[in-house]
Amino acid sequence: MENSVTVIGAGLAGCEAAWALARAGIRVRLYEMKPKKFSPAHKYEGFAELVCSNSLKAERIGSAAGMLKEEMRLLGSLTIECAQLSRVAAGGALAVDRKRFSDLVTEKIRSHPLIDVINDEAADIPQGNVIIAAGPLASQAISEAIKRLTGKEQLYFHDAAAPIVSADSIDMQKVFYASRYGRGDADYINCPMKKDEYERFYNELINAESAPLHDFDIRDDEVGSQKRLVESTGRFVESQKRLVESRERFKVYEGCMPIEVLAKRGADTMRYGPLKPVGITDPKTSERFYAVVQLRAENAQRTMFNLVGFQTNLKFGEQKRVFSLIPGLENAEFLRYGVMHRNTYINSPVLLTEHFNMRTRPEIFFAGQITGVEGYTESAASGIIAGINAARRIAGRDYFTLPKESMTGALSAYIANASPDNFQPMGCNMGLLPPLEEHIRDKKARYEALALRGIEAMKKEAQRL
């Protein structure tokens, strides 16, 4: 087996993968198309460029983001090291000077004797050991190569996801379990609406503010012909329908349009769609309702529930405000908000193991947002794990065991074991973790206990590396 690895992409995930490999004594060929070619979102020549924000989120250990960063530190993260050296004041968050951060990562990578940087676009996937960390704005050439590798039905170019709420934040006194027409095992949580409640929700929804759309929310090769269609959310949907007709695989189409666009078609449109009350009655009272919002379990532990049919392009603050009007969700904790944007990613539950390599081609690993993890630190963490496991595979060692109680382990388990039928990207959140043996009522104390349990488990495993 060749004692080297090709890493495609020098974003956060690719740099972490290259760094982990080099620390293990493995030679790396790192492909980065900048500065010869830039994606529509990237402007700086340096590696690990932060585009949307300079924040790596909360540092507090009792938060999902803080827990993940501590685990990354235990695993020798390059991202965390350089972030600490380039940090700027941001309260309880770890925020960085973007240019200095990128420069530090770039210098570390370029100066390592085992890492050879190739400033060229990887237009195909080479033979041998490979880590594909092409990112959510992967170029057309590498996207086509991934499509040939995985099958075009397993590669998505847009992300249209509904919000997810924490199960323990739902007011169970206002909702009930039931399935439509009594079919199944009452798997859905139903949030019933009376007419006045529905009308208030409808009016707030159609007047809520949408998030701005960018040119890079359209495929690189479609910008010229499609950018004029991105003037409103409704026309955005039309652009996606046209792209579907051109045989590209998208997660956004007529049956999956933003809930706010559907609502604007008429006051009762949602009641004939995702909020249809037909066949749903309260099993305790036999009461029928004007409209019903259904919540479906997002994981086997049933700690997370998504709002069925609520794909949306609303701003996050607007989602919190408007969706909290739904009975039972007044105090809901949103583990992730709905999104609708350009995001190249694979159907990981079909393709990948929890070690981030392919089930059918174990010498090929994926890392970063292309796997379905969402966020800067999540992408970097996946790069660390892919790098560690690629090195261990080359050395003939067992793959690194990630504790299921750790945030890194929970994210890895999610991308490998989530439902492949409706796989959506996921960022770190406490709902991914297995519950504590003893329930702690206070949320802050419960989150701290979850984090300390996971970090301690990661410490033990990291010592065995």
| pLDDT by 10s per residue, the chain, length 465 | 579 999 999 999 999 999 999 999 999 999 999 888 887 667 789 999 988 778 899 999 999 999 999 999 999 999 999 999 999 888 788 989 989 999 999 999 999 999 999 999 998 999 999 999 998 778 888 989 999 999 988 887 766 678 999 999 999 999 999 988 776 667 789 999 999 999 999 999 999 998 875 544 544 443 333 333 334 444 444 444 443 333 333 333 334 578 998 999 899 999 998 999 999 999 999 999 999 999 988 877 889 999 988 989 899 999 999 999 999 999 999 998 988 767 789 999 999 999 999 999 999 999 999 999 989 999 999 999 999 999 999 999 999 989 999 999 999 999 999 989 888 889 999 999 999 999 899 999 999 999 999 999 999 999 988
Distances (CA, A) of 247 to 140, 156, 230, 256, 350: 15, 12, 20, 17, 21
**Tokens 């409704």 found at:** 234
Start-end ranges of CATH 3.50.50.60 in the chain? Answer: 4-159+341-462
Task: Give the orientation angle of helix 407-417 with respect to helix 64-74, to 10 degrees.
Answer: 100
The predicted pLDDT at position 93 comes to 87
Cβ–Cβ < 8 Å for 338, 151 = no
Residues in the chain: 465
Q: Which residues contact 437 (CB under 8 A, 6 or more apart)?
A: none
Q: Where are the beta strands (DSSP E) in 18-174?
A: 27-31, 55-58, 87-88, 93-96, 115-118, 130-132, 155-161, 164-166
- Name beta bridge partners: 192: 292
pTM for this model (two decimals): 0.77
Distances (CA, A) of 98 to 29, 52, 55, 112, 397: 25, 11, 9, 22, 37
Burial of 189 (0-12, 13-18, 19+ CB in 10 A): buried
Write out the two tokens for 432: 């991914």
In order, the DSSP letters of 55-73 are EEEE--TTSHHHHHHHHHH
How far is residue 292's CA from residue 278's CA, in Å, rounded to a whole number? 9
Using alpha carbons, select from 422, 342, 374 the residue that is nearest to residue 158: 342
Q: Which residues contact 29 (CB under 8 A, 6 or more apart)?
A: 4, 5, 6, 7, 116, 118
Fold exhibited by the domain 4-159+341-462: FAD/NAD(P)-binding domain (3.50.50)
Strand-strand pairing, 155-161 and 339-346? antiparallel
Q: Which residues contact 40 (CB under 8 A, 6 or more apart)?
A: 137, 214, 215, 216, 220, 223
Cβ–Cβ < 8 Å for 198, 271 = yes
- The amino acid that residue 244 corresponds to is V
Task: Quote the longest CA-to-CA distance of the chain.
Answer: 71
The predicted pLDDT at position 55 comes to 87
Write out the two tokens for 234: 């409704």
